Structure 1
Amino acid sequence: MTTFQLLLLIVAGGVFYLFFKQLFSGNHPKRGVDFEAKVADDQIGGINRPDKTFSTPEVQPTRMEQLLKMTDEAVAQDDFEEAKKALGSALIIDENHTEVLQKMGYVCMQTGEYEEAKESFEKLLLLDESDDMAHVSLANVLHKLGDEEGAEKHHERAIALDPEYAPHHFNYANTLYDLGRKKEALLGYTKAYELDNTLEEAEKMMKELGSDNE
């Protein structure tokens, strides 16, 4: 055996030794073992392989959110019957959901189902007596039902809860106007316009009632 052959044998022996040492050490990559992210935003890939990165899963809307969206879309198209169906399903999920009750009351007002609207607004007030919007909504319903005493009480309660909200004064003035109490209505329209001078209808009614008193 020549010196060169002996050298090759030694090199080959070294290579085989390192190969088998690595093989039996357990440090080589294992098939079937998944990558485990160390932190929430850890990624596989990176700049060279952006297609190999994790992505945050899209948050799916809840069934309640879907039904409320369906309601809004139906109302936008004046399809109040479809809106009422969606709200009915929502109330099965949560009969005390305030947004659903508010929308149900509004939809029933649009369809002329005043007794049902009344039930929705009354339930809202049982859940929160300080809800001024529920008071004024109930007042409008009671006015439609001919309960003027009840309407007046809830209009006044809404104003007491939020005296700086112009529409409360405007709505009360509308009720007073329908009842023929025009001097009181004029005061309401005037107050509403003082609080919000963009209420053109209030300004119009002020001029109409002001001319009647001349």
Structure 2
Amino acid sequence: MDFSQTKIKQTKSDASGGKVSHLESGLPLRSAPRASGQITAASFVKIVHLFFARAITGHLLRTGCLLVTGCLLLTGCAAKTPPAYTPDDAMGHGLPPALTTTRPEPNHLALAKEMIGKGYHDIALVQLEKALTMRGEKAEIYHRMGCCHREKKAYEEAKQCFAKALAMEPDYAPAHNDLAMTLDLTGDPEAAQRHYKRAIEINPARPDFYNNMGFSHLCAGHLDLARDSFTRAITLDDSFFLARHNLALCLGFAGKEAEAMALLSEIMAPAEALNNMGAIHTLTHNPEQAADLFSRALAMDPTLPAARKNIAATKGAPKK
């Protein structure tokens, strides 16, 4: 993580919606050809008829032919039912409408979720618009649209989509959470806190809701409230990296450097912990201590790019 600047900003949410602090940086089917001499079902019946004509006469001949022909039908030598084609393929084959089938509609909502996960928000929005046409208005669709607009920094459009989702389902917790994040980004922390609290009231088992509320408090300088929120998130999910990282940041801001360093050491490599601790000192305007920690991190791991960049920025050395 690169901590070369000195201003906290809200980052993009992860898959769970959580936030972690960092500093600004910036073909139709064809039948297979028959091999020479290959016997078809029809020619095989002729052979069977010839065999019985030579071996048996009269009633037994007729009975035997019926029995063998019946077996052929049961075992699949008779002609199979032609496969169903899409209307376009059927037209190309000159087939009657009875052999056509309708191509299934794609799941636009599922496609949108996949695109969001890959960061293709413009494509996701196109799929979500199609989902609205196919499925009608649903809170989840508007919620996803709001998230896409927020990631594109189209904050007013995002707020409108979240508002539509909540108008349809007032207790849709994810929409409250993501609206709150958008309000934080647009400088309305008080309104953001109301929606974080509402999201938690609806679903108190979501650690990311507590983490996001804590980050909002942290940005506003409410360190005790931030620490309480991060602690609640970790209580719900002890492996929640984002909440642990943000709690360490909160402790560092509160002057509890030993606690912050101990927590960072639990969740990352030693050199990374030193680098991030140096970043905390940068944020709290202790450049000399920050430079020392960046130097120690780089001495411990000379390949750590964040430490190299941070020490260059701190000491004014040329960046490599």
TM-score bin, normalised by smaller chain: 0.5 to 0.7
- Greater CA radius of gyration, 1 or 2? 1
- In the other structure, the counterpart of 1:48 is 76
Question: In structure 2, what residue type is equivalent to 1:62?
Answer: E
**2:230 pairs with 1:189:** yes
Query: Does the CA-based 8 Å contact 1:46-1:53 persist in structure 2?
Result: no
Identity of aligned residues (%): 25
- In the other structure, the counterpart of 1:68 is 109
**2:173 pairs with 1:115:** no
**Distance of 2:79 and 2:208 partners within structure 1:** 55
**Distance of 1:51 and 1:181 partners within structure 2:** 78
**Distance of 1:61 and 1:150 partners within structure 2:** 44
Question: In structure 2, what residue type is equivalent to 1:52?
Answer: K
Unaligned runs of 5+ in 2: 1-72, 86-100, 257-320
Given the two structures, how large is their TM-score scaled by the length of structure 1? 0.68
Q: RCO greater where, 1 or 2, for CA within 8 Å and sep 6 or more? A: 2
SS in 2 for 1:198: coil
Question: In structure 2, what residue type is equivalent to 1:147?
Answer: D
SS in 2 for 1:164: coil
Query: Does the CA-based 8 Å contact 2:139-2:172 persist in structure 1?
Result: no
**Distance of 2:209 and 2:110 partners within structure 1:** 27
Unaligned runs of 5+ in 1: 1-44
**Distance of 2:125 and 2:137 partners within structure 1:** 16
Name the CA shift for 1:101/1:52 in 2 (closer, same or farther; >3 Å): same
Name the CA shift for 1:97/1:61 in 2 (closer, same or farther; >3 Å): farther
- In the other structure, the counterpart of 2:178 is 137
Aligned-residue Cα RMSD (Å) equals 2.7
**Distance of 1:53 and 1:94 partners within structure 2:** 35
Offset of residue 82 of structure 1: 2.4
- In the other structure, the counterpart of 2:187 is 146
Name the CA shift for 1:76/1:170 in 2 (closer, same or farther; >3 Å): closer
**Distance of 1:124 and 1:100 partners within structure 2:** 8
**Distance of 2:81 and 2:102 partners within structure 1:** 18
- In the other structure, the counterpart of 2:6 is none
Matches within 5 A, 1:160-199: 160-199=201-240
Q: Which protein is richer in helix relative to its size?
A: 1
**Distance of 1:133 and 1:189 partners within structure 2:** 18
